[in-house]
Structure 1
Amino acid sequence: MSDRATSFSVSLPDWVAGEIRDVPAHLPTAQERMALVHRLADRNHREGSGGPFAALVAERDTGRVLAVGVNVVLLSGLSSVHAEVVALSLAQQVAGNWDLGAAGRPATELVVNWRPCTMCLGATLWSGVGHLVIAGEGPECEQLTGFDEGPVREDWRDQFAARGLTIESDVLRDGAIRTFGEYGSGSPLVYNARQGNR
Protein backbone atom coordinates (compact mmCIF):
# COMPACT_ATOMS: atom_id res chain seq x y z
CA MET A 1 0.00 0.00 0.00
CA SER A 2 2.95 2.37 0.34
CA ASP A 3 2.86 3.16 -3.38
CA ARG A 4 -0.58 4.78 -3.12
CA ALA A 5 -0.70 8.56 -3.00
CA THR A 6 -2.80 10.08 -0.24
CA SER A 7 -2.22 13.78 -0.86
CA PHE A 8 -1.02 16.30 -3.41
CA SER A 9 -0.13 19.96 -3.37
CA VAL A 10 0.23 22.66 -5.95
CA SER A 11 2.22 25.87 -5.76
CA LEU A 12 2.56 28.80 -8.09
CA PRO A 13 5.90 28.92 -9.92
CA ASP A 14 8.56 30.96 -8.13
CA TRP A 15 8.59 33.62 -10.86
CA VAL A 16 4.97 34.63 -10.11
CA ALA A 17 5.88 36.29 -6.80
CA GLY A 18 8.33 38.59 -8.57
CA GLU A 19 5.87 39.32 -11.36
CA ILE A 20 3.15 40.50 -8.97
CA ARG A 21 5.37 42.09 -6.31
CA ASP A 22 4.67 45.67 -7.45
CA VAL A 23 1.06 45.11 -8.48
CA PRO A 24 -1.31 47.22 -6.37
CA ALA A 25 -3.54 45.33 -3.95
CA HIS A 26 -6.56 46.80 -5.75
CA LEU A 27 -7.04 46.83 -9.52
CA PRO A 28 -10.22 48.91 -9.93
CA THR A 29 -11.16 48.07 -13.54
CA ALA A 30 -11.72 44.88 -15.50
CA GLN A 31 -9.13 46.12 -18.00
CA GLU A 32 -6.46 46.46 -15.30
CA ARG A 33 -7.24 42.99 -13.99
CA MET A 34 -7.16 41.49 -17.48
CA ALA A 35 -3.88 43.24 -18.30
CA LEU A 36 -2.29 41.44 -15.34
CA VAL A 37 -3.81 38.13 -16.45
CA HIS A 38 -2.35 38.61 -19.94
CA ARG A 39 1.06 39.40 -18.48
CA LEU A 40 1.01 36.23 -16.38
CA ALA A 41 -0.28 34.05 -19.25
CA ASP A 42 2.41 35.29 -21.60
CA ARG A 43 5.18 34.68 -19.10
CA ASN A 44 3.78 31.32 -18.00
CA HIS A 45 4.34 29.58 -21.31
CA ARG A 46 7.72 31.24 -21.78
CA GLU A 47 8.80 29.91 -18.36
CA GLY A 48 7.62 26.40 -19.24
CA SER A 49 5.20 26.13 -16.30
CA GLY A 50 2.22 25.25 -18.48
CA GLY A 51 0.09 26.60 -21.28
CA PRO A 52 -0.53 30.28 -22.07
CA PHE A 53 -3.31 30.65 -19.52
CA ALA A 54 -3.75 32.73 -16.37
CA ALA A 55 -6.58 33.85 -14.10
CA LEU A 56 -7.28 35.95 -11.05
CA VAL A 57 -10.02 36.27 -8.48
CA ALA A 58 -10.93 39.72 -7.21
CA GLU A 59 -13.58 41.41 -5.15
CA ARG A 60 -15.80 42.81 -7.84
CA ASP A 61 -16.63 46.18 -6.30
CA THR A 62 -13.29 47.12 -4.78
CA GLY A 63 -10.94 45.38 -7.21
CA ARG A 64 -9.00 43.82 -4.34
CA VAL A 65 -7.09 40.89 -5.82
CA LEU A 66 -7.58 37.78 -3.70
CA ALA A 67 -5.44 35.41 -5.77
CA VAL A 68 -3.80 34.85 -9.13
CA GLY A 69 -3.28 31.56 -10.89
CA VAL A 70 -1.44 30.21 -13.88
CA ASN A 71 -1.67 26.87 -15.61
CA VAL A 72 0.83 24.59 -13.86
CA VAL A 73 0.10 21.30 -15.61
CA LEU A 74 3.68 20.89 -16.85
CA LEU A 75 5.26 22.05 -13.61
CA SER A 76 3.13 19.77 -11.44
CA GLY A 77 2.42 16.81 -13.71
CA LEU A 78 -1.28 17.15 -12.81
CA SER A 79 -3.83 17.62 -15.60
CA SER A 80 -6.43 19.39 -13.45
CA VAL A 81 -4.41 22.39 -12.33
CA HIS A 82 -5.51 24.87 -14.93
CA ALA A 83 -5.18 28.58 -14.19
CA GLU A 84 -8.80 28.93 -13.11
CA VAL A 85 -8.63 26.00 -10.68
CA VAL A 86 -5.41 27.36 -9.17
CA ALA A 87 -6.76 30.92 -8.79
CA LEU A 88 -10.09 29.77 -7.36
CA SER A 89 -8.42 27.36 -4.91
CA LEU A 90 -6.00 30.01 -3.66
CA ALA A 91 -8.83 32.53 -3.30
CA GLN A 92 -10.82 29.98 -1.29
CA GLN A 93 -7.82 29.55 1.00
CA VAL A 94 -7.63 33.34 1.46
CA ALA A 95 -11.38 33.45 2.17
CA GLY A 96 -11.23 30.43 4.46
CA ASN A 97 -14.30 29.09 2.69
CA TRP A 98 -15.04 26.93 -0.33
CA ASP A 99 -17.91 29.29 -1.22
CA LEU A 100 -16.61 32.57 -2.64
CA GLY A 101 -20.19 33.83 -2.74
CA ALA A 102 -21.05 33.03 0.87
CA ALA A 103 -23.43 35.36 2.71
CA GLY A 104 -21.70 38.38 4.16
CA ARG A 105 -18.75 38.15 1.77
CA PRO A 106 -17.96 40.74 -0.93
CA ALA A 107 -19.05 39.77 -4.42
CA THR A 108 -16.22 38.12 -6.35
CA GLU A 109 -15.29 37.64 -9.96
CA LEU A 110 -12.99 35.36 -11.92
CA VAL A 111 -10.92 36.99 -14.66
CA VAL A 112 -9.53 34.66 -17.35
CA ASN A 113 -7.72 35.19 -20.65
CA TRP A 114 -10.32 33.12 -22.58
CA ARG A 115 -13.60 31.31 -22.03
CA PRO A 116 -12.80 28.48 -19.60
CA CYS A 117 -12.51 24.91 -20.86
CA THR A 118 -15.11 22.30 -19.96
CA MET A 119 -13.45 21.42 -16.64
CA CYS A 120 -12.95 25.03 -15.61
CA LEU A 121 -16.50 26.05 -16.48
CA GLY A 122 -17.59 23.50 -13.88
CA ALA A 123 -15.03 24.72 -11.36
CA THR A 124 -16.26 28.29 -11.88
CA LEU A 125 -19.90 27.29 -11.34
CA TRP A 126 -19.17 25.53 -8.05
CA SER A 127 -16.73 28.12 -6.67
CA GLY A 128 -19.28 30.72 -5.63
CA VAL A 129 -17.94 33.56 -7.78
CA GLY A 130 -20.75 35.67 -9.14
CA HIS A 131 -19.13 37.16 -12.23
CA LEU A 132 -16.86 35.90 -14.98
CA VAL A 133 -14.69 38.26 -17.04
CA ILE A 134 -13.11 36.79 -20.18
CA ALA A 135 -10.90 38.22 -22.89
CA GLY A 136 -12.90 36.35 -25.49
CA GLU A 137 -14.56 33.17 -26.62
CA GLY A 138 -14.72 31.29 -29.87
CA PRO A 139 -12.44 29.02 -31.89
CA GLU A 140 -9.30 31.17 -31.80
CA CYS A 141 -7.82 29.60 -28.66
CA GLU A 142 -7.99 26.08 -30.10
CA GLN A 143 -6.97 27.18 -33.58
CA LEU A 144 -3.91 29.12 -32.44
CA THR A 145 -2.68 26.85 -29.64
CA GLY A 146 -3.81 23.36 -30.67
CA PHE A 147 -5.43 22.69 -27.28
CA ASP A 148 -8.76 20.87 -27.02
CA GLU A 149 -11.04 22.89 -24.76
CA GLY A 150 -13.55 20.05 -24.47
CA PRO A 151 -17.24 19.69 -25.26
CA VAL A 152 -18.57 23.05 -24.13
CA ARG A 153 -22.37 23.35 -24.29
CA GLU A 154 -23.65 25.91 -26.75
CA ASP A 155 -25.92 27.28 -24.03
CA TRP A 156 -23.15 27.65 -21.42
CA ARG A 157 -23.97 31.34 -20.98
CA ASP A 158 -27.61 30.50 -20.26
CA GLN A 159 -26.50 27.83 -17.80
CA PHE A 160 -24.40 30.41 -15.94
CA ALA A 161 -27.26 32.91 -15.94
CA ALA A 162 -29.66 30.29 -14.57
CA ARG A 163 -27.27 29.88 -11.63
CA GLY A 164 -26.92 33.62 -11.03
CA LEU A 165 -23.53 34.20 -12.68
CA THR A 166 -23.00 37.15 -15.00
CA ILE A 167 -20.44 37.30 -17.81
CA GLU A 168 -18.41 40.11 -19.35
CA SER A 169 -16.60 39.24 -22.58
CA ASP A 170 -14.14 40.81 -25.02
CA VAL A 171 -12.05 42.56 -22.37
CA LEU A 172 -8.64 43.21 -23.98
CA ARG A 173 -9.32 40.41 -26.46
CA ASP A 174 -6.31 41.26 -28.63
CA GLY A 175 -3.96 40.48 -25.75
CA ALA A 176 -5.21 36.89 -25.59
CA ILE A 177 -5.01 36.44 -29.36
CA ARG A 178 -1.44 37.75 -29.36
CA THR A 179 -0.33 35.37 -26.57
CA PHE A 180 -2.04 32.36 -28.16
CA GLY A 181 -0.51 33.19 -31.53
CA GLU A 182 2.97 33.47 -30.07
CA TYR A 183 2.55 30.17 -28.24
CA GLY A 184 1.33 28.38 -31.35
CA SER A 185 3.88 29.85 -33.73
CA GLY A 186 6.79 27.98 -32.19
CA SER A 187 6.80 24.30 -31.37
CA PRO A 188 4.00 24.32 -28.80
CA LEU A 189 3.62 21.44 -26.41
CA VAL A 190 -0.03 20.43 -26.54
CA TYR A 191 -0.53 18.11 -23.60
CA ASN A 192 -4.14 17.00 -24.01
CA ALA A 193 -4.26 13.32 -23.11
CA ARG A 194 -6.76 12.60 -25.89
CA GLN A 195 -4.87 14.21 -28.78
CA GLY A 196 -6.40 13.19 -32.08
CA ASN A 197 -9.27 11.37 -30.34
CA ARG A 198 -11.92 14.08 -30.15
Structure 2
Amino acid sequence: MSLATGFTATLPAWLTAELDTLPTVLPTLEDRMDLVNALADRNWREGSGGPFAAIVVDAATGELVSAGVNVVLASGLTSMHAEVTTLSLAQTALGRWDLGAEGADLQLVVNWRPCVMCYGATMWSGVRSMVVAGEGPLLEELTGFDEGPVVDDWAAQFEARGIRVTIGVRHDEAVAVYRAYGDSDSLVYNARGAAE
Protein backbone atom coordinates (compact mmCIF):
# COMPACT_ATOMS: atom_id res chain seq x y z
CA MET A 1 0.00 0.00 0.00
CA SER A 2 1.34 3.43 -0.93
CA LEU A 3 0.68 6.45 1.23
CA ALA A 4 -1.89 8.95 -0.02
CA THR A 5 -0.64 12.43 -0.88
CA GLY A 6 -3.90 14.30 -1.22
CA PHE A 7 -7.66 14.07 -1.25
CA THR A 8 -10.56 15.76 -2.98
CA ALA A 9 -14.22 16.30 -2.32
CA THR A 10 -16.74 17.90 -4.62
CA LEU A 11 -20.37 18.82 -4.47
CA PRO A 12 -22.71 16.11 -5.73
CA ALA A 13 -23.68 16.31 -9.40
CA TRP A 14 -27.30 17.21 -8.61
CA LEU A 15 -26.21 20.34 -6.71
CA THR A 16 -23.45 21.31 -9.13
CA ALA A 17 -26.03 21.22 -11.92
CA GLU A 18 -28.31 23.57 -9.98
CA LEU A 19 -25.81 26.12 -8.63
CA ASP A 20 -26.64 28.62 -11.39
CA THR A 21 -30.33 28.44 -10.45
CA LEU A 22 -29.82 29.26 -6.77
CA PRO A 23 -30.77 32.77 -5.69
CA THR A 24 -27.77 35.10 -5.73
CA VAL A 25 -29.20 37.18 -2.88
CA LEU A 26 -31.14 35.89 0.13
CA PRO A 27 -32.30 39.00 1.98
CA THR A 28 -33.83 37.48 5.14
CA LEU A 29 -32.73 34.82 7.61
CA GLU A 30 -35.85 32.88 6.67
CA ASP A 31 -34.92 32.99 2.96
CA ARG A 32 -31.47 31.72 3.83
CA MET A 33 -32.72 28.86 5.99
CA ASP A 34 -35.37 27.90 3.44
CA LEU A 35 -32.58 27.25 0.95
CA VAL A 36 -30.55 25.31 3.52
CA ASN A 37 -33.51 23.10 4.48
CA ALA A 38 -34.36 22.44 0.83
CA LEU A 39 -30.76 21.45 0.05
CA ALA A 40 -30.57 19.25 3.16
CA ASP A 41 -33.74 17.39 2.26
CA ARG A 42 -32.64 16.85 -1.32
CA ASN A 43 -29.16 15.73 -0.25
CA TRP A 44 -30.18 12.65 1.72
CA ARG A 45 -32.80 11.71 -0.84
CA GLU A 46 -30.10 11.78 -3.54
CA GLY A 47 -27.83 9.55 -1.42
CA SER A 48 -24.94 12.02 -1.21
CA GLY A 49 -24.78 12.06 2.59
CA GLY A 50 -26.80 13.03 5.61
CA PRO A 51 -29.68 15.53 5.79
CA PHE A 52 -27.40 18.51 6.30
CA ALA A 53 -26.67 21.63 4.26
CA ALA A 54 -25.14 25.04 4.80
CA ILE A 55 -24.55 28.31 3.01
CA VAL A 56 -22.21 31.23 3.52
CA VAL A 57 -23.65 34.66 2.78
CA ASP A 58 -22.73 38.28 3.27
CA ALA A 59 -24.57 38.98 6.53
CA ALA A 60 -25.71 42.47 5.51
CA THR A 61 -26.66 41.98 1.87
CA GLY A 62 -27.52 38.29 1.78
CA GLU A 63 -25.27 37.75 -1.25
CA LEU A 64 -24.58 34.03 -1.61
CA VAL A 65 -20.88 33.17 -1.31
CA SER A 66 -21.08 29.36 -1.18
CA ALA A 67 -23.55 26.53 -0.81
CA GLY A 68 -22.77 23.01 0.28
CA VAL A 69 -24.14 19.80 1.64
CA ASN A 70 -22.86 16.83 3.61
CA VAL A 71 -20.89 14.67 1.16
CA VAL A 72 -19.58 11.99 3.52
CA LEU A 73 -21.08 9.13 1.51
CA ALA A 74 -20.30 10.65 -1.89
CA SER A 75 -16.68 11.42 -0.99
CA GLY A 76 -15.89 8.59 1.44
CA LEU A 77 -14.46 11.22 3.82
CA THR A 78 -15.96 11.57 7.30
CA SER A 79 -14.84 15.19 7.61
CA MET A 80 -16.97 16.35 4.69
CA HIS A 81 -19.88 17.59 6.77
CA ALA A 82 -22.00 20.41 5.35
CA GLU A 83 -20.26 23.11 7.38
CA VAL A 84 -16.74 21.99 6.47
CA THR A 85 -17.67 21.63 2.80
CA THR A 86 -19.39 25.02 2.65
CA LEU A 87 -16.73 26.92 4.59
CA SER A 88 -14.03 25.34 2.40
CA LEU A 89 -15.88 26.36 -0.75
CA ALA A 90 -16.21 29.93 0.54
CA GLN A 91 -12.49 30.02 1.39
CA THR A 92 -11.65 28.69 -2.08
CA ALA A 93 -13.95 31.18 -3.82
CA LEU A 94 -12.51 34.13 -1.89
CA GLY A 95 -8.90 32.89 -1.97
CA ARG A 96 -8.30 33.17 1.75
CA TRP A 97 -8.52 31.00 4.84
CA ASP A 98 -9.83 33.82 7.07
CA LEU A 99 -13.40 34.57 6.06
CA GLY A 100 -13.38 37.59 8.36
CA ALA A 101 -10.36 39.23 6.71
CA GLU A 102 -10.61 42.70 5.17
CA GLY A 103 -13.60 43.51 7.40
CA ALA A 104 -15.83 40.87 5.82
CA ASP A 105 -19.02 40.09 7.74
CA LEU A 106 -19.82 36.61 6.48
CA GLN A 107 -22.49 34.40 7.97
CA LEU A 108 -22.79 30.62 8.09
CA VAL A 109 -26.36 29.34 7.90
CA VAL A 110 -26.84 25.67 8.83
CA ASN A 111 -29.81 23.49 9.67
CA TRP A 112 -28.69 22.57 13.22
CA ARG A 113 -26.11 23.43 15.83
CA PRO A 114 -22.70 22.21 14.61
CA CYS A 115 -21.45 18.79 15.67
CA VAL A 116 -18.23 18.62 17.68
CA MET A 117 -16.05 18.64 14.53
CA CYS A 118 -17.90 21.44 12.77
CA TYR A 119 -17.91 23.47 15.98
CA GLY A 120 -14.16 23.95 15.72
CA ALA A 121 -14.18 24.36 11.95
CA THR A 122 -16.76 27.13 12.20
CA MET A 123 -15.01 28.87 15.08
CA TRP A 124 -11.70 29.00 13.19
CA SER A 125 -13.16 29.90 9.78
CA GLY A 126 -13.46 33.63 10.34
CA VAL A 127 -17.23 33.90 9.87
CA ARG A 128 -18.69 36.68 12.01
CA SER A 129 -22.12 35.15 12.57
CA MET A 130 -23.97 31.86 12.47
CA VAL A 131 -27.66 31.08 12.08
CA VAL A 132 -28.99 27.65 13.06
CA ALA A 133 -32.46 26.14 12.87
CA GLY A 134 -32.14 24.40 16.22
CA GLU A 135 -29.98 22.88 18.91
CA GLY A 136 -30.04 20.05 21.40
CA PRO A 137 -30.54 16.29 21.28
CA LEU A 138 -33.65 16.21 19.07
CA LEU A 139 -31.53 15.82 15.92
CA GLU A 140 -29.82 12.75 17.36
CA GLU A 141 -33.13 11.30 18.54
CA LEU A 142 -34.73 11.68 15.10
CA THR A 143 -31.79 10.60 12.95
CA GLY A 144 -29.54 8.36 15.05
CA PHE A 145 -26.44 10.46 14.31
CA ASP A 146 -23.84 10.92 17.06
CA GLU A 147 -23.04 14.64 17.18
CA GLY A 148 -20.27 14.19 19.75
CA PRO A 149 -19.64 15.93 23.09
CA VAL A 150 -20.74 19.47 22.24
CA VAL A 151 -20.34 21.79 25.22
CA ASP A 152 -23.49 23.12 26.89
CA ASP A 153 -22.44 26.74 26.41
CA TRP A 154 -21.55 26.26 22.73
CA ALA A 155 -23.31 29.45 21.58
CA ALA A 156 -21.76 31.56 24.35
CA GLN A 157 -18.32 30.30 23.30
CA PHE A 158 -18.93 31.59 19.77
CA GLU A 159 -20.23 34.90 21.10
CA ALA A 160 -17.13 35.27 23.32
CA ARG A 161 -15.05 35.06 20.14
CA GLY A 162 -17.05 37.69 18.28
CA ILE A 163 -19.29 35.30 16.34
CA ARG A 164 -22.96 36.23 16.67
CA VAL A 165 -25.36 33.28 16.99
CA THR A 166 -29.04 33.17 16.06
CA ILE A 167 -31.00 30.04 16.99
CA GLY A 168 -34.46 28.89 15.92
CA VAL A 169 -34.89 30.09 12.33
CA ARG A 170 -37.23 27.68 10.49
CA HIS A 171 -36.87 25.15 13.31
CA ASP A 172 -40.00 23.14 12.48
CA GLU A 173 -39.02 22.83 8.82
CA ALA A 174 -35.58 21.50 9.79
CA VAL A 175 -37.14 18.99 12.18
CA ALA A 176 -39.43 17.78 9.37
CA VAL A 177 -36.35 17.01 7.24
CA TYR A 178 -34.73 15.07 10.10
CA ARG A 179 -37.94 13.20 10.85
CA ALA A 180 -38.29 12.12 7.19
CA TYR A 181 -34.68 10.97 7.17
CA GLY A 182 -35.10 9.06 10.43
CA ASP A 183 -38.23 7.35 9.11
CA SER A 184 -36.37 6.19 5.99
CA ASP A 185 -33.98 3.28 5.66
CA SER A 186 -31.01 5.59 4.96
CA LEU A 187 -27.57 4.69 6.28
CA VAL A 188 -26.63 6.35 9.56
CA TYR A 189 -22.84 6.38 9.23
CA ASN A 190 -21.58 6.68 12.80
CA ALA A 191 -18.20 4.97 13.01
CA ARG A 192 -18.65 1.60 14.72
CA GLY A 193 -22.26 2.46 15.47
CA ALA A 194 -23.79 5.04 17.77
CA ALA A 195 -22.07 5.99 21.01
CA GLU A 196 -23.22 3.89 23.93
Alignment TM-score, normalising by the size of structure 1: 0.95
**Deviations 1:131-172, CA, capped at 9 Å, x for gaps:** 010011111110100000000001112211111111011101
Tell me the amino acid that sits aligned with residue 160 of structure 2.
A
| Contact kept? 1:134, 1:169, Cα under 8 Å | yes
**Deviations 1:51-75, CA, capped at 9 Å, x for gaps:** 0000000110111111011000000
Map of 1:139 onto structure 2: 137
**Deviations 1:83-120, CA, capped at 9 Å, x for gaps:** 00000000001111000001x24200000001110000
Distance 2:181 2:19 in 1: 22
TM-aligned CA deviation for residue 195 of structure 1: 1.7
TM-aligned CA deviation for residue 3 of structure 1: 1.4
Map of 2:104 onto structure 1: 106
Map of 1:91 onto structure 2: 90
Map of 1:39 onto structure 2: 38
| Contact kept? 1:134, 1:170, Cα under 8 Å | yes
Tell me the amino acid that sits aligned with residue 117 of structure 1.
C
Q: How many residues align?
A: 196
Map of 1:55 onto structure 2: 54
TM-aligned CA deviation for residue 23 of structure 1: 2.2
| Contact kept? 1:34, 1:135, Cα under 8 Å | yes
Matched, 1:150 2:148: yes
Segment of structure 1 superposing worse, 82-91 or 10-19: 10-19
Map of 1:74 onto structure 2: 73
Give the match's secondary structure for 1:127.
coil
Could you list the runs of 5+ residues in structure 1 that have no partner in the other structure?
none
Distance 1:189 1:143 in 2: 15
| Contact kept? 2:100, 2:128, Cα under 8 Å | yes
| Contact kept? 1:135, 1:171, Cα under 8 Å | yes
Map of 2:158 onto structure 1: 160
C-alpha root-mean-square deviation of aligned residues, in Å?
1.2
Map of 1:125 onto structure 2: 123
Give the match's secondary structure for 1:132.
strand
Distance 1:43 1:88 in 2: 20
TM-aligned CA deviation for residue 124 of structure 1: 0.3
Query: Among the aligned pairs, what percent are the same residue?
Result: 56
Q: Which contiguous aligned blocks of 4+ residues in structure 1 show a shift greater than 6 angstroms? A: none
Could you list the runs of 5+ residues in structure 2 that have no partner in the other structure?
none
Distance 2:194 2:153 in 1: 25
Map of 2:190 onto structure 1: 192
The structure-2 alpha-carbon separation of the partners of 1:187 and 1:97, relative to structure 1 and needing over 3 Å to count, comes to same
Map of 2:17 onto structure 1: 18
Distance 1:7 1:188 in 2: 29
Distance 1:178 1:54 in 2: 14
Alignment TM-score, normalising by the size of structure 2: 0.96
Match of 2:177 among 173, 176, 179: 179
